[in-house]
Copies of this chain bind each other. A is one copy, B any other.
Amino acid sequence: MGYTIRQIADALGAQVLGDDSIVIHRPAEPAAAGPDDLALAMDPKYAVGLGQGRARAAIIWNGGDWRGLGLEAAIIVPRPRYALAGLTRLMDPGPQIAAGIHPTAQVDASAEVGVGAAIGPFVVIGAGCRIGCDARIAAHVTVAEGAELGESALLSPGVRIGPRVRIGDRFIAQPNAVVGGDGFSFVTPDKSGAERARETLGDQGQITAQSWTRIHSLGSVVIGNDVELGSNACIDAGTIRPTRIGDGTKIDNLVTVAHNVEVGRDCLFAGQVGIAGSTRIGDRVVLGGQVGVVDNIFIGDDVIAGGGTKILSNAPAGRVMLGYPGTKMDTFLDGARNIRRLPRLMEKVAELQKAVSKSERDD
């Protein structure tokens, strides 16, 4: 599993200084690097670490003095974080899933499995499924009846794909992620207190005991190409139309996307984001960890929301948001600062009251 510095540089489209024949086995942080490691020292702050470790080769910052840093070879890259993508892709051994269909797997006779697919132990694939070429499906995955997966899918252990879900190419799902569970959709025979409270912003009217009737989810889920889904994340089936996730969107651990939601392309949802039912999200929307978006609203293209933002109403394209209720980031930060200044403001007002009442008495 070794690579020469030349091979690595070629994979990154990068420049080499020094001995390009050194063989590298893994990347490492500078201070922890051994002689067969490639130290990652893309910033001058790592110079000290290079001195502490034993790396012979490193990716260094533009303009770094590789000889002075004690290196025998260096790779120079223009955008270090982007180079990290290429380097880690090159060196990732990937999960071990034996080629072919494991003898314990239960693949329905009517399912179609593409050439090159590797299907692990105890996998269950239902009637009428279509699994694209070169799929890697790890142990304990279930793919329910009628589901379709494009080429080169990677499903980690315990992933659940629901009935009639359709997913594009190069889908990656981390362990125990769920696509196509039933939507959370219930209705009372008469208007419920929660419906009335929403209409009136706080008054639920007279309370009457009533129970919830289930609205079934017939719409399943449609996912584009190049989508990723984190551990234990969930995307629910739509009611009538499918829940949709656009091409290139990446979704982190423990995110929930509710029924009927439509998410655009190239979005990024960090850990524990929650999107409530029927909301539409534009393209390239970036939601930080624990962001919540209420149901039935619209988030424009290129909205960015910092961690913990609770978006309670429509957000225009390009807005950068924070807070609860979610607002413009600088408005929220100004508000927090102003709250900290309230004690001083209250003192000022008390002093003014004293001064004014004194002046009135003096009149």
Contacts and interface: CB of A to CB of B under 8 A. Distances in A.
Interface stretch (A14-22, A62-70, A351-359): A351-359
B181 A253 contact: yes
Nearest to A212: B250
A234 to B, nearest CB: 4
Given A184-B250, A202-B330, A294-B289, A157 B160 contact: yes
A187 to B, nearest CB: 5
A346 interface: yes
A290 interface: yes
Given A160-B176, A236-B231, A330 B201 contact: yes
Contacts of A352: 349, 352-353, 356
A82 B44 CA distance: 51
Contacts of A162: 175
Q: For chain A, give the interface size range.
A: 35 or more
Interface string A22-64: 0000111100100000001000000000000000000000000
A180 to B, nearest CB: 8
Contacts of A156: 160, 181
A10 interface: no
A292 B270 CA distance: 12
A351 to B, nearest CB: 8
A232 B254 contact: yes
A266 interface: yes
B193 A329 contact: no
A284 to B, nearest CB: 7
A181 to B, nearest CB: 4
A323 interface: yes
Nearest to A269: B184
Interface string A83-97: 011001101110110
Contacts of A121: 106, 122, 124
A289 B184 CA distance: 11
A239 B189 contact: no
Interface in A175-222: 175-176, 178, 181-182, 184, 186-190, 192-194, 197, 201-204, 207, 209-218
13 contacts: A26-B218, A32-B241, A85-B187, A85-B214, A104-B104, A121-B122, A142-B157, A184-B230, A184-B250, A192-B286, A204-B304, A234-B254, A276-B288
The 4 closest A-B pairs by CB, nearest first: A88-B216, A160-B175, A308-B310, A174-B181
